Amino acid sequence: MNADDFPTPDVDVESVDPESLKDRIDAGEDVTLLDARMQSDYEEWRIDGENVTSINVPYFEFLEDDIDEDVLDQIPDDREVTVLCAKGGASEYVAGTLAERGYDVDHLEDGMNGWASIYEAVEVERYDGAGTLLQYQRPSSGCLGYLLYDDGEAAIIDPLRAFTDRYLEDAAELGVDLTYALDTHVHADHISGVRDLDAEGVEGVIPEAAVDRGVTYADELTTAADGDTFDVGDAAIEAVSTPGHTTGMTSYLVDDSLLATGDGLFVESVARPDLEEGDDGAPDAARMLYESLQERVLTLPDDTLVGGAHFSDAAEPAADGTYTAPIGELVEEMDALTMDEDAFVDLILSDMPPRPANYEDIIATNLGQNAVDDEEAFTLELGPNNCAASQDSLAGD
Per residue in 88-130, pLDDT (tens digit) is 989 999 999 999 999 999 999 999 999 999 999 999 999 999 9
* Domain containing residue 86: CATH number: 3.40.250.10
Q: Which helix (H) or strand (E) holds 43?
A: helix 39-44
Residue 2 lies in a domain: no
Do β-strands 52-56 and 31-35 pair in parallel, antiparallel, or remain unpaired? parallel
65 and 125, same domain (yes or no):
no
Which residue type occupies 356?
A: P
pLDDT in tens, 242-283: 999 999 999 999 999 999 999 999 999 998 999 888 889 999
87 and 127, same domain (yes or no):
no
Average pLDDT over residues 206-222: 96
Residue 3 lies in a domain: no
85 and 173, same domain (yes or no):
no
213: CB partners within 8 A, 6+ apart: 186, 246, 247, 248, 276, 367
pLDDT at 374: 93
248 and 388, same domain (yes or no):
yes
Average pLDDT over residues 166-183: 98
Residue 275 lies in a domain: yes
Residue 320 lies in a domain: yes
Tell me the pLDDT of the chain averaged across its residues.
93
Residue 61 lies in a domain: yes
Q: Is 136 helix (H, G, I), strand (E, B) or coil?
A: strand
Domains in the chain: how many in total? Answer: 2
* Domain containing residue 310: CATH number: 3.60.15.10
Check whether 353 has a pLDDT greater than 90. no
39 and 128, same domain (yes or no):
no
Q: Count CB-CB contacts under 10 A for residue 63.
A: 14
pTM over 0.85: yes
CB 88 within 8 A of CB 114: yes
* Percent residues over pLDDT 90 in the chain: 84
Check whether 392 has a pLDDT greater than 70. no
Do β-strands 132-138 and 120-123 pair in parallel, antiparallel, or remain unpaired? antiparallel
How far lies 21's CA from each of 179, 268, 397, in Å? 34, 25, 33
Average pLDDT over residues 349-363: 86
Question: Which positions are catalytic?
Answer: 85
Domain end marker among 67, 89, 115: 115
Residue 288 lies in a domain: yes
Residue 10 lies in a domain: no
Check whether 191 has a pLDDT greater than 80. yes
Residue 216 lies in a domain: yes
DSSP 310-329: B--TT----TTSSS-EEHHH
Domain containing residue 99: 15-115
**Distance in angstroms (rounded) separating the CA atoms of residues 397 and 393:** 10
Q: Is 387 helix (H, G, I), strand (E, B) or coil?
A: coil
pLDDT in tens, 68-77: 999 999 999 9
275 and 328, same domain (yes or no):
yes
134 and 89, same domain (yes or no):
no
72 and 193, same domain (yes or no):
no
Name the band, by pLDDT with cuts 50, 70 and 90, for residue 7: low
E-strand ranges in 72-196 read: 81-84, 105-108, 120-123, 132-138, 143-150, 153-157, 177-182
**Distance in angstroms (rounded) separating the CA atoms of residues 347 and 341:** 10
Check whether 393 has a pLDDT greater than 60. no
Domain end marker among 115, 141, 165: 115
pLDDT at 77: 93
User: What are φ and ψ of residue 53, in 5° steps?
Assistant: -100, 120
pLDDT at 395: 46
Nearest CA to 59 out of 76, 81, 84, 82 is that of 84
85 and 128, same domain (yes or no):
no
192 and 82, same domain (yes or no):
no
Domain end marker among 65, 93, 115: 115
138 and 278, same domain (yes or no):
yes
190 and 46, same domain (yes or no):
no
Based on C-alpha coordinates, what's the Rg of the chain? 22
